[in-house]
Chains A and B, each alone.
Chain A
């Protein structure tokens, strides 16, 4: 194990509180979140439904304001980023489908270059190079002239990952990239993400309900429970017994030997 404090920190939160604020009151969903994401790591964010995974992702991607605490991206606080500057530091893959399915795969991936292109969006030779590289890294080079409405859910997810790669950011954040996919493609997408962190040195954070797969593939995991948000490598989290507290134990329980959840017999 390498000493993590020596590694380059891409994203860091300090005593972060997340939730919703209206004029009348603050609804705190989770508080005292202190996590660090290191360069070149694949990080899985897991937790039960409604525990605040989406809210945490929305907060660190600047869609929603933090209630308290600080978020640092490359040692700079999130609030001080200009929109275009943030677009060069962090790219997203969202759960919502893209608005126009009439776009071709190449066009979608090319839109990832928007923060770098001129006022009318012309692509330079360097842009073409990066787009083609992103298409190859995600194995969708043969799909590039297809329209998005012709693609399966699994192919579309690869296209969205390629688009995020083309945006050329240190950090890629994916919100539940494995929903709607079959078992094979869930594993395929997460394996692809793991390979990308190794090949490109980018940091990839994703939220998922595929805890079994995440334990096998992630360098580090963030586990959200009612009481606390814990972040560590999967092995350590298992030995700490974190996964046992993830869900109510009346139906499923974590089996330490197989490192997966089993239905109670």
Chain B
């Protein structure tokens, strides 16, 4: 639609910032490693265990999580025609949490069969994706009955409350050990993934991204509203389903592998729109990808508390950064656009 060339400089700048953040993220940590050693490890001439098996997968995870959540937030803001939509607000992350809670905590209720039958990690991934898909589908069904976008957000919040209530019931019946496991999952973590897990994560992520790219034209058409989109010959039901599937794949697997990470999905698309003053998804999509990856790398670097032995929960850091950003946008801009 608008000329892509006008945004070329912004894109180049973002790519450079991303590379700097990526290297910066790998350089920082509890153990100090020299810059030379880092570059040698990255280019395969040295074999630093911490870099290759801990920091590098963590940095890659941060990129996938940040960009994936940002994109799923963008998809939902367009689909629900609501600037406040995001994986958290619409209860999709709660759905994933419920799935995970059923696996971790529910094993006490349903006997140990579930946990031992499947490989534990994979059952969490499947449960989280399924949970987020079901909640998104439910929100979608209800929102087709109510036209009011405010009502959709409230319904999303209500779904969140319901899942939270089920989780508390489950926690009441589960052991201290299971509870601890669930709470740690709830803190969110980017550093728990092995290369094998990261590989699976990457494949599902790519499927979600491919579906999103295939929906670019439909997403732009949705900006006019559903009736206009229909009059332009768009197959609404099919496009909507693909967008929902992409969102739940992205948000679901990210929540499964990295825990519930708040505010990135809501805040990133709006921060991106401050720089890229367009609604064209052909430009917004790569921009949100870069922005999400950068912010997540920065959040992770802060969470590491460089030079100290402590690591803060990543979920807390993203909320501390994301929530003020949303408030600031609402106060300064008065109106949030999508």
Contact = CB atoms under 8 A, between A and B. Distances in A.
Interface of A: 61, 63, 82-88, 90-92, 94, 96-104, 106-108, 110-112, 114-115, 117, 119-121, 123, 149, 167
B224 A111 contact: yes
Contact of A84 (B1, B225, B233): B233
A104 B280 CA distance: 10
B231 A117 contact: no
Nearest to A87: B233
A98 B217 contact: no
Contacts of A167: 232
Nearest to A100: B223
Given A83-B235, A86-B233, A111 B223 contact: yes
B337 A63 contact: no
A111 B81 contact: no
Contact of A104 (B2, B217, B231): B2
B54 interface: no
Contact of B232 (A100, A104, A114): A114
A120 B215 CA distance: 8
Q: Is the interface of A mostly helix, strand, loop or mixed?
A: loop
Contacts of A91: 231
Contact of B228 (A88, A98, A117): A98
B174 interface: no
B338 A100 contact: yes
B216 A120 contact: yes
Contacts of B228: 92, 94, 98, 111
A106 B221 contact: no
B232 to A, nearest CB: 4
Given A87-B233, A99-B224, A114-B232, 10 more contacts: A61-B231, A90-B231, A96-B225, A96-B227, A97-B225, A98-B224, A104-B278, A111-B228, A114-B221, A167-B232
Interface string B209-253: 000011011001111111110111111000000000000000000
Contacts of A123: 1
Closest 7 CB pairs of A and B: A87-B233, A84-B233, A102-B337, A99-B225, A121-B217, A100-B223, A99-B81
How many chain B residues sit at the interface, stated as a range, is 20 to 34
Interface in B255-307: 273, 278-280, 282
Given A104-B2, A107-B280, A119-B214, A99 B222 contact: yes
7 contacts: A88-B233, A99-B226, A102-B337, A107-B278, A110-B1, A111-B1, A111-B220
A121 B338 contact: no
Contact of B227 (A82, A94, A104, A149): A94
A83 B224 contact: no
Contact of B234 (A100, A110, A114): A114
A115 B217 contact: no
Contacts of B216: 120-121
A265 to B, nearest CB: 43
B217 A100 contact: no
B282 to A, nearest CB: 6
Contacts of A83: 230, 233-235
A117 B216 CA distance: 12
Contacts of A99: 81, 222-226
Contacts of A104: 2, 278
B338 to A, nearest CB: 6
Contacts of B1: 106-107, 110-111, 121, 123
A98 B222 CA distance: 9
